[in-house]
Chains A and B, each alone.
Chain A
Amino acid sequence: MRRAGVPLLVGLVVVAAGIVLAMVRVNPYIYFAGCVVLQYVVIATAWNILGGYAGYVNFGTPAFFAMGAYTAVFLIQSMRAPLPVLLVAGGLVAALLGLGIGYLTLRLRGVFFSIATLALSVVLQTMIMNWEYVGGSRGMSVLRPSGPPFGSYVTFLFTVMVGLAVIAVLVARFIERSWIGRGLAALRDNEEAAECMGVPTLRLKLFATTVSGFLLGVAGAPFPYYVTFVEPNSAFALDYAVNALAMPMIGGTTSWVGPVIGAVLLGTAQQLATVTISSEMNLFIVGVVLVAFVVLAPEGILGLVRRLRGR
């Protein structure tokens, strides 16, 4: 328990730093951009729990993210639920989605899970577009609640995102170092051998899918308050699909550090780039960088560093 105390302490320090940063009145755009980057830290970390640790690729990140966002919209519309409720509910709904898709496809080869997630986003988007209560295809305006505990609402959200990012990383780190993480690594390396060595592969895969889904939903839950106008095209944006892959792949998939590096680097780069190039060009570049890394440096930055160190 003592060893667990250190990362928790670090996490708390980071959150405190976030609050301090929020108090200091710098250019408000920094907080907007910061929210997005931190959101990607959560997304990349969440994706990697299933993709990097277990080796199952989820192409439907927008579906999970949007489920979190739209659960929040639904709860805001129906009962003005407070933020913590939105976070947990968004996470749970996305977790259920993960569990459902996983249960149907994880008994088969990993390819089928991936194909199913690929088709998932499109279908869910269509369904949301037909649901008038949450705005349908026109979208819906969302009022931020008055009186955030401190600062402006954006700086408050910024701090919340710092907290969520820390939680996501701690969860990933915990899983990675536990017996679950070792079992996931075994099934990623060779599923048949892992199963024959006593690893309950199906159960572990469902666990990873559920946790990953939960965190993706949690990342999406603050979205309505962040953008104040929620419409399907932005909630289900392709950006989430490609970034959720590119950030861990670029950073390195075998450890929790990779997605964080990838999210910070790629996320910041994209925020800087949005002022100079079109969003499509931005996506194009991300796509090219992704393919380049997958072909040339599949172990990401972490792998390159390891090779340079001569290990």
Chain B
Amino acid sequence: MAPPLLEVQGLVKRFGGFTALNGVTLSVKAGERFGLIGPNGSGKTTLINCVSGVLPVNGGTIRFDGREITALPPHQRTRLGIVRTFQIPKPFTSMTVLENLGIPLEYAGAGRAGAEGNTDAGEILKTIGLDAKAHLRPAGLTQIEMRKLELARAMAARPTLLISDEAMAGLSSTEVDDILTILFRLNAQGITIIMIEHIMRAVMRFSERIVVLDAGERIAEGTPAEIVRDPAVEKAYLGE
């Protein structure tokens, strides 16, 4: 039984008097399609911010590939293979789409045997459907194109573990399927994917296993079918 790729143990995160994460424990297996859901404010993005290193934790540990990374700065975690996208896209505004990919290619993926597949920026853009816009600045992109740029940039960082933070929020049905196809393809190449989403049909279709957060605590875990039937989950979303 291979050790999990990502192991989060008893993670605690406080903001002043407010406890956003109250001892969250979960683990993700290599190659898995993992879903993380929960009502607004349950702590999903905080958890991702802690895993990616953007926020320091107040307690608990994070292990990646057997190695403790709790104290590592974000850029080193990225170099190890943990790559995340941002809920609200954060492109490098002064650079073209192609140059945006150049940054992770230069800084994150170099010298590491990540997932097989595209290492060339142009190739990545073609895969994701942005090659026509390669020389545009992000200001000239539509919503979905910005989301695709986020993903493309993440791909350029040669992730072993990709965390997709609400990449589909506000997109149309076809656009959601578009993104979903890309994520499935990445997973087929061996990349472990954690998907955080509110769009239920996407999460249910995509995930092999799901963890549900509510008010900073893990309230349920299981396959999509199990989660749908879980009364605790229903209560969290719909109230009593």
Contact = CB atoms under 8 A, between A and B. Distances in A.
Contacts of B91: 189-190, 193
A190 B92 contact: yes
B83 A179 contact: no
A186 B54 contact: no
B237 interface: no
A186 B138 CA distance: 13
Q: Is the interface of A mostly helix, strand, loop or mixed?
A: helix
Given A182-B106, A183-B107, A195 B75 contact: yes
B102 interface: yes
A179 B79 CA distance: 16
A188 B94 contact: yes
A33 B79 CA distance: 51
Given A196-B84, A198-B79, A183 B73 contact: no
B142 to A, nearest CB: 19
A275 to B, nearest CB: 41
Given A194-B103, A196-B78, A197-B78, A202 B95 contact: no
Interface in B103-134: 103-104, 106-109
B94 A185 contact: yes
B95 A185 contact: yes
Contacts of A194: 92, 103
Contacts of A121: none
A188 B74 CA distance: 17
Contact of B74 (A179, A182, A196, A254): A196
Contacts of A183: 103, 106-107
Given A189-B94, A193-B92, A197-B104, A202 B73 contact: yes
Contacts of A197: 75, 78, 83, 103-104, 107-108, 153, 157
Contacts of B92: 185-186, 189-190, 193-194
Say which size band chain A's interface belongs to: 20 to 34
Contacts of A192: 54, 86, 90
Nearest to B82: A196
B103 A196 contact: no
B174 interface: no
Interface in A155-202: 179, 182-183, 185-186, 188-190, 192-202
Contacts of A182: 99, 102-103, 106
A190 B52 CA distance: 16
Contacts of A179: 106-107
A72 B103 CA distance: 41
Interface of B: 52-54, 73-76, 78-79, 83-84, 86, 90-95, 99, 102-104, 106-109, 153, 157
Top 4 A-B residue pairs of the complex, sorted by shortest distance between their CB atoms = A198-B108, A198-B107, A193-B90, A189-B92
